[in-house]
Amino acid sequence: MSHLRGIHKIDCDQDGDPLLNKYRSFVQNLTTATSTTSGLWQKLGNFHGFPLLPPTNKACLLGQLTSKGVSQMLKIGEIVRNAYMSHLNFYQKTASYIPLNRPSNSSTEPTPMYDTDEIIIYSTRYRRTFQSAMALMYAFLPPDRWHTLQILEAHSYNFCFSDCACQKADQLQTSIEKTRNTQMGQHPAVNAIVQWIGNSILQNSSPVVNALDVRDAILTLVCHDAPLPCRSKRPINEEENDDNDDNSNVSSTVSDTDVINIDQDDVSSVQSEDVGDDILEDESTVEGCVDQSQVDTVMSFTRYQGAKDVRSKNTRDLGLLRAYGLMRQMMSFMLRMISGDKVKFILYSAHDRTIQNLASALGIFLDVPFIPYATRMNLEVYKSEKDTQFYFRVVYNGADITNQISFCEGGRSLRVNRGRASKADLCPIENIIRFIHDDYFQNLNATNFKDACQVEKREYFNLNNY
């Protein structure tokens, strides 16, 4: 991630959204018996004291959720409520525990309470994923049930739990990045545009700007209707200093493990860095401006690159390794559901790379190689009324993609009617169980996670010994 020049001037609010205004009012009025601090999550745990909303309505901060993002998650919550609430019955309370030593003549009835075991929520320790989860659940649940939520921490954006460390996955990631760099080198005209835009709109950009960083920065502008920026001419003495100063180029990189802490509301520092980045009105100081054709070039190239990535063997293998821990846990929850366990709903407030890896592991080639903001992927569990068989379905942003899954396609799914000429593909749960237990590492010529993560060691011979 890199800071965007002039980001403090971008309005990231979502005006005129009644649900957002209602949620803001709800959050600001939150109080507890021990604290009157509003707007913070007060429950004990890893997310205690986390703000539920962005620091200001209009704020755009590096790596943070915006008000427009909160609005999107509230709408997702409404969609989820409309789709599942009648089936899950989360408005119903059950009688609380009755003490055995209650007096026989007591007329006190147990207070109805929500069953907290029915809902499980995981989030990485980022404000944006925590806030996304809470906004979605606010629109999904009745307010008094929202207060009962418990949030569990996932320590990796892969949600890999006990199956995280994998040297082979690291090697594959490096190989994929090298391939991208090679592809960029084969398109010098595109590379020149990427470097020019990157150095124009990113602060502290590295000597070689990544096309995906530029794409993300452009989306920040485009998605909030901000004007494309101009670039000022650099003084001659500044260029000379750059040639003699080895520290003039500051590289801002993010580890692939995604464990840096960017949960600081450092508004003042962002604004101070942006001094002098105001929109240039004096044409004599302007070197050039980013135009729409350049934006289209960057977007087209990254889309082309992404389309090649998702169909490569390295990407499929990487997805299998990175998503294994999550796949195992989801299968475990499915088995608990069909065994009569109380759990009904599990939410993973995740990242785009989480979904990319999961889609690759399932053998799904998404039409758009990049995961849009506020994307949802739902795994639904079904029980047949006739033969008590269990099935699952995968829905991606409202579209049924079950039949695209590698172990569900080609007639291995059940096509059922859902009314009003709507049909759905249901895949037997035994298919995913068999896939994870027997076939998961087949592409990697291994039978388990440990062996699949091994990196082949090259043999080196000392010619002096011969």
- For residue 354, give both structure tokens: 């989480």
Q: Please check the confidence at residue 267 and state whether its pLDDT lies above 60.
A: no
Instruction: Using the predicted structure, report yes or no on whether residue 445 has a pLDDT greater than 80.
Output: yes
The pLDDT-based confidence of 119 (bands split at 50, 70, 90) is: very high
pTM for the full model? 0.83
pLDDT, averaged across the chain: 83
Q: Which residue did the predictor score with more confidence, 345 or 112?
A: 345
Name the least confident of 50-59, 87-96, 193-202, 325-334: 87-96
From the list 421, 420, 402, the residue with the least C-alpha distance to 411 is 402
For residue 42, what are its two tokens? 């007060």
State mean pLDDT over 123-148. 96
Compute the average pLDDT of residues 2-18: 87
Residue 240, pLDDT > 50, answer no
pLDDT of residue 416: 77
Cα angle: 29, vertex 34, 37; to 5 degrees: 35
* 3-state secondary structure at position 250: coil
Is the pLDDT at 347 greater than 70? The verdict is: yes
The closest of 325, 369, 366, 316 to 348, measured between CA atoms, is 325
Gyration radius of the chain's alpha carbons: 26
Residue 59: band (very low, low, confident or very high) from pLDDT cuts 50, 70, 90:
confident
Note the pLDDT of residue 205.
Answer: 65
Q: For residue 335, count CB atoms less than 10 angstroms from its CB and return exposed for 0-12, middle for 13-18, buried for 19 or more.
A: middle
Q: What is the pLDDT at residue 361? A: 96
Q: What is the pLDDT of residue 70?
A: 97
What is the percent of the chain where pLDDT is above 70?
78
